[in-house]
Structure 1
Amino acid sequence: MIFWRLFLMLPVILSGGSGTRLWPLSTPDVPKQFLPLMDPDRTMIQQTITRLDGLDFMSQPLVICNEKHLPLVRSQLKAINRLGRQVMLEPAGRNTAPAIAAAALYCMENEKDGLMLVLASDHTILDIPAFQKAVTAARDAAADGKYALFGIVPTRPETGYGYIETAAADDSGVLAVEAFKEKPDAATAERYVAAKNYFWNSGMFAIPAGLLLGEMRNMEPEMLAHVKDAYAEAVRSDESIRLDRKSFESIKGNSIDYAVMERTKNAVVIPLNAGWSDVGSWDMVWELSHKDNHENVTNNITFFKDASGNMIHTEDDRPVALLGIKNCVVIESKDGLLIADKQYVQEVKKAAESFLK
């Protein structure tokens, strides 16, 4: 334990998502992590990084993104004074496992086998003290050689997330993993929530870099070999580490969940009850936003008449009138116009992808 505490923790920020579920505001050129969706003064990636402020064991973040987003990442890191590291660039999308393995190699090289905290760049968390308390607990568990997963205390029988089944807690409150569960149907989700030992799988975790690489050496040796080649042959500059394209494109992509998380014997769960959301659809944005007396959300001058439960977002100053409309989403940007019943927001990704073909 003392050995690990000598080193800082490396925050690894995964920023490779395309963000099409929040089209037309979020697009592949400027996905949602680079937008001020939840805070008018900070983008989602800036919020992800600054909510670690005050944890003195955190070092400067390592952001991993695709090549075309480098200028966006650097400008947004500069705005919050977090340009202390190069940005790692993926030449192609290969899911999360290869990117995290490359981050572990970087951590071994630069942090003397320190601990990694892996976070998505586009989640929101409302209770920062509760989050930081959980991060500290995850740091301690990872320092003991554990794969410390943040399990979200479920607030509803959600069918859109995978779940983690846990056993009893140890003296520190850390939960042993019993099983990983795929996205359930509604009845199964209700059973999970009622049982109180199932948690949403957030995809966030803490782990020693050496442990992760050791697990991948045993579980995904071919993937790890290609990642090592891509990292060794990377083009390095003061601004970025550009992973080698040929080696990286040779990788058969896989998520860290399937590659390691669901197969390791070293996983534990840190319960997190901090107002977490992956902000994965417009109805989630509506749910998290300030509403008027009729449950409407708007960012502009809007006239409502017999309208309730609506989400309105425009990019210009044109006034909007909503008459006799309920539970709708109206989103306007230079890239398109979305008008949808909130029951259909899960179809937005398909609509966006049809325009991008």
Structure 2
Amino acid sequence: MPPPLPHRQWWQHLQSVLVPLILVVAGGIISWMQIGGWVVVGALVMAASLMWWQGRTQPHAITMILAFVTTIAALDYLLWRLMVTNWANWWIAVPLVLAEAFGVVHTVGLQVTIWPWHSPALHPTEDPTLRPIFVFIPTVNEGSEILTPTIRATLAAREHYLEVNPQGRVTIVICNDGRVANSPDWQGVEALAQRMGVLCVTRTVGGGAKAGNIENARKLVGATGDALLVIFDADQVAKPEFFLKLIAPFADPTVGWVQSGQYYGNKENPVARWAHDQQALFYRVLCGGKAAQNAAFICGTNVMLRAAALDQIGGLPQDSVTEDFAASIRLHTRWRS
């Protein structure tokens, strides 16, 4: 269980919540009263002053001012929309207003997420490099051509990690669901694992989809208790510094998991490049804001988790097709992200 916040840290957290809340309320009042653009300008000056008083950097101050302006504009539009709605034809008007209100909620929610919150401090009390790391790479029918770069990159990341932490232990496990899925190349996956010097656990009884595959291997190799888990999808190629970067926050015993980003390697393809831009917005902007509010969630791959945290909730949920998000919800009541 996370320890209670110290008084000073509690006040800083309260302040970081109150300031944007006051600004949003002020913006709503301005929009509701419709008392002129100069008042809006004055409110923006007040907002800039508050942000300067908080000692924000220029990029943060710009983000906060733009968030404030966007919130005021969204609320002002919604109030105007309510006033000009044709309530006589309510069966058409109400669904349209609700749809636009939903858009306003998302708009304001985005501003809350990207607001430059103060990141909660970590309180390191242990050396996480003493914990064994188990890497699970679940596969069904991806085949050797896709798995080989993933395994090779994981081996390189392990080598780099052990160079820095020779006391470390990293076990790589291929979670092979090809047999239960009747994949014609499931034995080829076992042969690939043997050639590359990693473990392979092949299920003979299915169930639980990806979560069941990982949980089956986790129990067989003993990745419970004081261990740390890493999950890579079959097509995820890790960078050499992956383990070094993700393990550091686990020095704080309240941290349950650390999520890293996913990026495309074939950006010469226009579709992949556009998809990469979407992923970059999520992982580089939104996830940072969620992490600052202890609201980050597991994205299914490229993540490191504390085995003890999963043990507390009975492992990855096998009754959900979104086992990563379901696990996040259950873990957030007890662990930091």
Instruction: State the TM-score, normalizing by the size of structure 1.
Output: 0.42
Higher relative contact order, chain-length normalized (CA < 8 Å, sep 6+): 1
Question: Whose strand proportion is higher, 1 or 2?
Answer: 1
Greater fraction helix: 2
Larger radius of gyration: 2
TM (norm. structure 2) is: 0.44
